[in-house]
Amino acid sequence: MHETARQHVAKGVAKTFVLVEETVNAPKPVLGFFTLSLCQVLAEDIAPKWAKKLPGQIPAMRLGRLAAAGGIGLFVDAKDQTAADFYERFGFEPTPTEPRTLFMPMDTVRRLVDS
């Protein structure tokens, strides 16, 4: 994981964030991680209430792994319906064309971060 994350950062592909147990001596165990990357989506792939005032091609962020800046929201690809249900509990919405690709508008992300 470390080498892949380093390569992705060096190439500007994605940024990986890692949570470790700070209270123990090295090597510190990894408690969890996630990866963010920029992506582009089509307006038809998100709910009409979000797409209606946006161009046909929209910059966004994709949550790539769950264990960068800008865009209209956060996209995540759920591995199965159980994972999709999990993301929906936090405010993600399935996209019209691919129910296991979910979207959270940036306003919702900001509201969650600020709370």
Q: What is the pLDDT of residue 115?
A: 64
In angstroms, the CA 111 to CA 74 distance is 13
- Neighbouring CB atoms inside 10 A of 21's CB total 10
Residues 60 and 81: their CA atoms lie apart, in Å, by 23
Query: What pLDDT does 114 receive?
Result: 66
**Choice between 110 and 53, residue whose per-residue pLDDT is larger:** 53
Locate the domains of the chain by residue range: 2-114
pTM for this prediction? 0.52
Residue 69, pLDDT above cutoff 50: no
What are 20-56's pLDDT values in tens digits? Answer: 788 888 888 777 778 888 889 999 988 898 888 899 9
| Fold of the 2-114 domain | Aminopeptidase (3.40.630)
Give pLDDT, residue 66. 54
Tens of pLDDT along 74-95? 888 899 999 999 999 989 999 9
Residues 6+ apart with CB under 8 A from 4: none
Cβ 71 vs Cβ 60: under 8 Å: yes
